[in-house]
């Protein structure tokens, strides 16, 4: 994927082209995502709620795992069987990707990948055979549902929704909650379930979607080597003389890495130990450090080329460069507020360092290659010299060259493992997106957006009232769903409402992502709380207490973005 996109960029700049490069990259994204999802299922790393952590260890958790695995296997098997119908239909139609390669070959990723996911979920339902047999019974039931849809026509919709909700609370994968709900509602209504994988296929081959795995790969390559140490030294040399300079550095460094990896969890897990050591060395209180790192993990999602902004643009049909511009000021405001609070505390507990030009020069020289990456991406995107996918491919290639060939910190033998880790994350995300799109499709068929619009126009008196109501909704959504599934499910519902109330689409998009950032920190199920609990071996309650001041601070930033639209619109060419 990287090489096809980079070669296409070079040839196009020279006045030529690479036949089929775009379609092949798009279909490789589909294969990458589905096989990555299968690997994530094998490793038990499919994205899910962390609610099972509240259950006592032992029989209760084992039973929860059996329920989650059985329902997850049923949903994946039903999706796989529905995908077979889609592939068979396309094979009869005779379409092609490019250069004579049949379209159905690309679509074959859906049934193959989903079948592997179903098998893995059934196998992992339990460590003992009785639990595994229950998982495989769920798999068989999913195939039966696809083979005999008439048996389920007219069934109560609440029944299937209740089952998948229970399985999700038991720790089941999020894709099963979204996809299972959509499939059951389609079956109950007598509609073809092949509509769900068909919608998933259309999303997976969207021209911009390949940028998500490519930017994610660039972030994983940076996190694998010693880029974090070099950047930490650079920022400390540049800002360590400030009161609370180390806290400022933590906020900036987290924002840098989250921007490229597209997920706060990667930042917390990859950099948490390093940043905690730096803060402890400067005598910051442990609770303060825990709250700072946990909250800073979600900084950076508003900066280019953050993957959530790209996906929002795809779903809401908003120009991605406009979203990149719109997110700059709010993103900088969030980083500045976090750093500012860190300075207030830091001036009381840490000693200020002397500014040393020589140290800064050495650090700048050491980190020059890492600094070149965001400069390269921003220059390509804002100049129009490359598409988002081409810029992402060049970023991934450059990150690989820097880490493998220049610094030689990522050995060639280690590269497949890095690719595998990035692919697992991408697979889990793409599987959720595909399932969420099926649920969105059902809601459109049921005219949910129209009913929601009518209700909002009747009960909400002004655009500000609408935005405040949206803030509350997204706070809950951010707790319960990851950023990608939230975008896929909720954006098609709220985007028409925003237009009806005269809200600029870019302002709505930035506000949407900022709210989801806040949801990562909101108890009891904010995802960053669980990741920090795991990374630092602290209880959820302890992490929650540590993050409360930062939660209040970020909530104030979200309200500022809500009330002051010029923060998002000032840099747009309008």
Residue 264 has pLDDT above 70, yes or no: no
User: Omega into 305 within 30° of 0, i.e. cis?
Assistant: yes
Q: Do 162 and 102 belong together in one domain?
A: yes
Which residues 6+ apart lie within 8 Å of 277 measured at CB?
Answer: none
535, 272 in Cβ contact below 8 A? yes
Say if 189 falls within a structural domain.
Answer: yes
Task: Supply the angle between the helices 211-224 and 307-316 in degrees, to the nearest 10.
Answer: 170
Residues 243 and 188 in one domain: no
3-state helix, strand, coil in the chain (%, to 5): 80, 0, 20
Q: Does residue 4 sit within a domain?
A: no
Q: For residue 291, report the phi and psi dihedrals to the nearest 5 degrees.
A: -65, -40
Of 65-69, 319-323, 484-488, least confident by mean pLDDT is: 484-488
Is position 66 within any domain? yes
pLDDT over 90 at 440, yes or no: no
Please say if the pLDDT value at position 522 is more than 70.
Answer: yes
The C-alpha atoms of residue 392 and residue 415 are separated, in whole angstroms, by 18
Q: Which of the residue ranges 23-27, 269-273, 340-344, 423-427 would you say has the lowest mean pLDDT? A: 269-273
Q: How far apart are CA 247 and CA 275, in angstroms?
A: 9
Shared domain check, 477 and 372: yes
162 pLDDT band, cuts 50/70/90, is very high
pLDDT digits (tens, 9 = 90+) for 223-250: 788 888 888 888 888 887 888 888 888 8
Q: What is the mean pLDDT of residues 177-187?
A: 88
Distance CA 235, CA 249 (A): 6
How far is 522 from 519, CA to CA, in rounded Å?
A: 5
* Residue 53 and residue 164 share a domain: yes
The verdict on residue 574 lying in a domain is no
| Residues 192, 232 within the same domain | no
Are 381 and 509 in a shared domain?
A: yes
Instruction: Report the pLDDT averaged over residues 511-531.
Output: 78
Whether the bond into 524 is cis, omega within 30 of 0: yes
- pLDDT tops 70 at residue 50: no
Is 10 domain-assigned?
no
For residue 382, is it within any domain? yes
pLDDT confidence bin for 262, thresholds 50/70/90: low
For 4-42, b/e burial (b = at least 16 CB within 10 A) is bbbbbbeebeeeeebebbbbbbbbbbbbbbbbbbbbbbb
pLDDT recorded at residue 330: 94
Q: Do 186 and 229 belong together in one domain?
A: no
Question: Alpha-carbon distance 245 to 256, whole Å?
Answer: 17
Q: What is the DSSP letter of 406?
A: I
Residues 354 and 425 in one domain: yes
What's the pLDDT tens digit per position in 269-284?
A: 777 778 888 888 888 8
Domain-terminating residue out of 160, 181, 205: 205
Q: What is the pLDDT of residue 265?
A: 61
**Average pLDDT of the residues in 137-151:** 92
Task: Please report whether residue 451 resides in a domain.
Answer: yes
C-alpha to C-alpha distance for 158 and 173, rounded to whole angstroms: 20
**Mean pLDDT, the chain, integer:** 85
- In a domain? residue 5: no
| 252 in the same domain as 121 | no
- Ordered alpha helix ranges (H), 401-504: 415-445, 448-459, 463-480, 483-500
- pLDDT, residue 327, reads 92
Residue after which a domain boundary falls, among 168, 185, 205: 205
Is 525 or 163 the better-scoring residue by pLDDT?
A: 163
Q: Is pLDDT above 80 for 261?
A: no
180 and 263 fall within a common domain: no
Residue 141 binned pLDDT confidence (cut-offs 50, 70, 90): very high
End position of a domain, from candidates 180, 205, 230: 205
Q: Residue 433: its pLDDT value, please?
A: 76
* Least confident stretch, 1-15, 381-395, 518-532: 518-532
Tell me: the pLDDT tens digits for 398-428? Answer: 999 999 999 998 888 888 988 988 888 888 8
- CA separation for the pair 507, 56 (Å, rounded): 43
Residue 144 is predicted with a pLDDT of 92
pLDDT in tens, 448-466: 777 777 887 777 778 888 8
Q: Do residue 124 and residue 235 come from a single domain?
A: no
Q: Which long-range contacts (CB under 8 A, 24 or more apart) does 276-281 make?
A: 276/536, 278/232, 278/236, 278/246, 278/249, 278/250, 279/246, 279/247, 279/250, 281/246
Do 382 and 329 fall within a single domain? Answer: yes
pLDDT at 85 over 80: yes
DSSP 504: -
Domain of 510 in residue numbering reads as 212-569
Total domains in the chain come to 2
Residues 6+ apart with CB under 8 A from 298: 258, 264, 517, 520, 521, 528
pLDDT above 60: residue 503:
yes
Instruction: Pull the structure tokens for residue 43.
Output: 């490793």
The secondary structure of 203-270 as a DSSP string is: HHT-TTTTHHHHHHHHHHHHHHTTHHHHHHHHHHHHHTTSTTHHHHHHHHHHHHHHHHHS-HHHHHHH
């Amino acid at each position: 994927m990287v090489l096809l996109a980079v070669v296409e960029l070079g040839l196009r700049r020279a006045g030529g082209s690479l036949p089929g490069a775009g379609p092949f990259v798009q279909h490789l994204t589909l294969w990458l995502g589905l096989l990555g999802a299968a690997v994530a299922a094998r490793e038990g790393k499919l994205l899910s709620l962390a609610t099972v952590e509240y259950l006592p260890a032992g029989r209760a958790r084992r039973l929860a795992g059996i329920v989650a695995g059985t329902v997850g296997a049923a949903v994946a098997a039903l999706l796989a069987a529905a995908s077979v119908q889609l592939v068979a239909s396309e094979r009869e139609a005779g379409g092609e990707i490019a250069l004579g390669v049949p379209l159905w070959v690309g679509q074959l990723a859906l049934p193959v990948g989903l079948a592997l996911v179903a098998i893995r979920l059934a196998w992992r339902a339990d460590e003992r055979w009785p639990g595994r047999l229950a998982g495989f019974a769920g798999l068989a039931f999913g195939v039966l549902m696809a083979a005999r849809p008439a048996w389920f026509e007219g069934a109560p919709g609440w029944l299937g929704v209740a089952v998948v909700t229970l399985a999700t609370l038991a720790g089941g994968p999020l894709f099963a909650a979204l996809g299972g709900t959509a499939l059951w509602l389609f079956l109950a209504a007598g509609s073809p379930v092949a509509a769900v994988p068909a919608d998933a296929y259309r999303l997976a081959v969207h021209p911009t979607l390949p940028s998500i795995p490519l930017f994610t790969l660039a972030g994983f390559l940076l996190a694998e080597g010693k880029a974090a140490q070099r950047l930490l030294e650079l920022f400390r040399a540049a800002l360590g003389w400030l009161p609370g300079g180390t806290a400022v550095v933590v906020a900036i460094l987290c924002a840098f890495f989250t921007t490229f990896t597209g997920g706060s969890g990667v930042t917390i897990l990859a950099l948490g130990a390093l940043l905690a050591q730096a803060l402890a060395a400067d005598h910051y209180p442990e609770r303060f450090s825990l709250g700072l790192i946990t909250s800073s993990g979600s900084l950076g999602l508003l900066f280019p080329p953050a993957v959530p902004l790209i996906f929002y643009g795809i779903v809401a049909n908003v120009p991605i460069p406009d979203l990149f511009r719109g997110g700059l000021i709010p993103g900088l405001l969030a980083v500045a507020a976090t750093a500012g609070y860190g300075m207030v505390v830091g001036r009381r507990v840490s000693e200020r360092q002397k500014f040393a030009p020589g140290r800064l020069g050495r650090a700048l020289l050491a980190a020059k290659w890492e600094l070149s990456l965001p400069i390269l991406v921003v220059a390509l995107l804002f100049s129009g010299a490359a598409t988002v996918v081409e810029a992402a491919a060049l970023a991934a290639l450059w990150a690989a060259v820097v880490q493998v060939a220049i610094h030689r910190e990522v050995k060639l033998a280690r590269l497949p493992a890095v690719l595998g880790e990035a692919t697992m994350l991408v697979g889990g995300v793409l599987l959720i997106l595909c399932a969420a799109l099926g649920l969105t499709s059902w809601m459109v068929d049921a005219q949910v957006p129209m009913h929601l619009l009518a209700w909002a126009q009747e009960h909400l008196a002004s655009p500000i009232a609408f935005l405040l109501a949206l803030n509350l909704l997204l706070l809950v959504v951010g707790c319960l769903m990851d950023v990608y599934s939230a975008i896929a499910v909720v954006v098609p519902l709220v985007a028409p409402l925003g237009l009806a109330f005269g809200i600029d689409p870019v302002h709505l998009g930035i506000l949407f992502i900022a709210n989801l950032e806040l949801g990562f920190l909101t108890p009891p199920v904010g995802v960053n709380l669980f990741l920090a609990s795991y990374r630092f071996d602290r209880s959820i309650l302890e992490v929650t207490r540590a993050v409360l001041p930062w939660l209040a601070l970020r909530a104030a930033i979200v309200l500022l973005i809500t009330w002051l639209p010029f923060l998002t619109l000032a840099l747009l060419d309008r």
